Amino acid sequence: MNGVLGVLSRAAFLPASLRTQTIQRLGSSGSSSAARQLIATLAADDQETHSAVLTALTACGPAVVQPATELLKGSAAKLRSAAAESLAQAGPAAVSALPTLQHDLATAPPDVRISFLKAIGAMGSGAAPAVDDVGGQLEDSNSRVVAAAATALGQIGPAAKGFVPQLIVLVGHLEKPIRDAAGEAVGRIGPITKVFVPKLIEQLAHEDNGVRVAAAKALGEMGSDAAKAAGPLSAILEDTSRDVRQAAAEALGKIGEPAGATAPRIARLLSDRDYGVQAAAARACGQVGLFDADAIGQLTQLLGHNRGSVRHAAAEAVGMLGPKAASAARGLITLFDDKYEAIQLAAVRSLGHLGTIDAAHISAIELRLQSPDMSTRLLAARALASLGPAAAATAPSLIRAATDSSEQFAAKCVEALINMGASIQPSLPLITEQLSNGDSLTKQRTLKVVACLATYAGSIADSVQTCSSDPDPATREAARAALELIQKAQLSGMSR
């Protein structure tokens, strides 16, 4: 380890790849001496390795707390800030450093205080004893300090309820970072903020766009506790500022079903000229529970939008609406070919919430199991797994695919079969065929499938028994393991 520390001391002169490897080794050691050296590296002006050091410090875990706490007391501002940043990585585990952070919070230079506040906030509710010290920073002349203090109060949670009135005032601040931090903090502090809903509603009519946005975001962070604000929020859905329209839609979505009466007004924004507003409106339609057929048709159209964020939001919204949005199934399947994986997965998840869908759509998914592209096959298996018994007609294809050489794909096919339950039984003769005619490797893979389906495999126990006498020892072992599971299922009365 001493050798690694020596190399790190010359980090600035090393190739980037070697610096990163050295930093990773230090982090994995989990020692306090390594943590101290990492903190010193963090204080250097080497932004290229900054993120790697933070990751390594996280890996150090509690070992970072003692050396970082000692370094907080030094005179070098950069080192103190780095020490605090390290404690922030440790999160609640660094609560023993809280008294030291409190001691200098009021007198340290602004940049150091900001780092201190981030460390305190990362401790969450464990930093409650410091809530007054943190709240005192809301009156600082440095806007970055004020924003950091507001964020920390939100992270501390309900213990910071005494500062909600000040935070409400800051929601109307002229500087955006302060408004945003205060608005988020109001929501995170908890139910106690409900009594301040009327004050935030007043801010929705403020002449400054930014204040209206911050007020809407703060109300959204309160969730259903801000139900009384649904009407006023819906009134600004037609605001001239796109940021205000988007914030209002997002807030109504977070309020959820209590804001259901505003759904028709939200739906109007599905055709907004701004794609950010469209995405927010689409997601909000799902969150508040919009079941209007025309609006669902609009959501389906948005599945083909040229902006990924809108397609993603529309796909998620369709899933939230469930069976009422079953007509969007074809559009979701089209997204299986989207260039963004997040959208593909959102489409798969949402498809599983639609309930029974047309056989033609299920067949379209089944065909993808045979695609030459593994990611396409895997996505199809995931989709069928999400559909459960509704996709029982695809069981034969899944049984064949479950012996694929890709363990990940095979496992997902098995998961789909398990999710189909007893409805796979008519397809079990195909397993018997594979056990009778397949080569050794196919038999072994098929037997692993049988083991996973033991609850439903009682009817093919004889075929499995035959494999227990196979010339191949690996096949015999796999057959015995499968038989044991079938017998256990029969004894428990679960086998069918």
Domain boundary among 315, 335, 357: 357
CA-based Rg of the chain, rounded to a whole angstrom? Answer: 29
Residues 326 and 411 in one domain: no
Closest C-alpha among 383, 416, 382 to residue 398: 416
CA 24 to chain CA mean position, Å: 25
> Residue 150: inside a domain, yes or no?
no
Residues 208 and 316 in one domain: no
Q: What angle do CA 79, 81, 82 make, to 5 degrees?
A: 65
* pTM exceeding 0.85: no
Residues 315 and 190 in one domain: no
The answer to whether the CB of 59 falls within 8 A of the CB of 30 is yes
Q: What confidence score (pLDDT) does residue 476 get?
A: 93
Contacts of residue 314, Cβ cutoff 8 Å, sequence gap at least 6: 279, 282, 299, 300, 302, 303, 305
Kind and range of the H or E run holding 379: helix 374-387
> Residue 141: inside a domain, yes or no?
no
The tens place of each residue's pLDDT in the chain, 496 residues long, gives 444 444 444 444 455 556 666 666 666 666 677 667 676 666 565 555 666 766 766 666 677 788 888 878 876 888 788 888 888 988 999 999 999 999 889 889 999 999 999 999 999 999 999 999 999 999 999 999 999 999 999 999 999 999 999 998 898 888 999 999 998 898 888 776 678 899 899 999 999 898 999 899 989 988 999 999 999 999 999 999 999 999 999 999 999 999 999 999 999 999 999 999 999 999 999 999 877 888 899 999 999 999 999 999 999 999 999 998 999 999 999 999 999 999 999 999 999 898 878 899 999 999 999 999 999 999 999 999 999 999 999 999 999 999 999 999 999 999 999 999 999 999 999 999 999 887 899 999 999 999 999 999 889 999 999 999 999 999 999 999 999 999 988 887 655 5
Residues 389 and 432 in one domain: no
Print burial letters for 271-285: b (CB count within 10 Å at least 16), e (below 16): ebeebbbbbbbbbbb
> Residue 86: inside a domain, yes or no?
yes
Q: At 261, which CATH number?
A: 1.25.10.10
Contacts of residue 493, Cβ cutoff 8 Å, sequence gap at least 6: none
Tally: H helices and E strands in the chain: 30, 0
Q: What confidence score (pLDDT) does residue 130 get?
A: 96
Domain count, the chain: 5
Distance, in Å, from the CA atom of 137 to the CA atom of 149, rounded to the nearest integer, reads 6
Distance, in Å, from the CA atom of 441 to the CA atom of 367, rounded to the nearest integer, reads 25
Q: What confidence score (pLDDT) does residue 31 get?
A: 65
Residue 51, token pair as written in the block: 């993120």
Distance, in Å, from the CA atom of 385 to the CA atom of 355, rounded to the nearest integer, reads 13
Residues 9 and 115 in one domain: yes
Q: What confidence score (pLDDT) does residue 50 get?
A: 62
Closest C-alpha among 246, 248, 244 to residue 233: 248
Distance, in Å, from the CA atom of 485 to the CA atom of 471, rounded to the nearest integer, reads 22
Q: What confidence score (pLDDT) does residue 471 get?
A: 93
Task: State which residues form the domain around 487.
Answer: 428-496
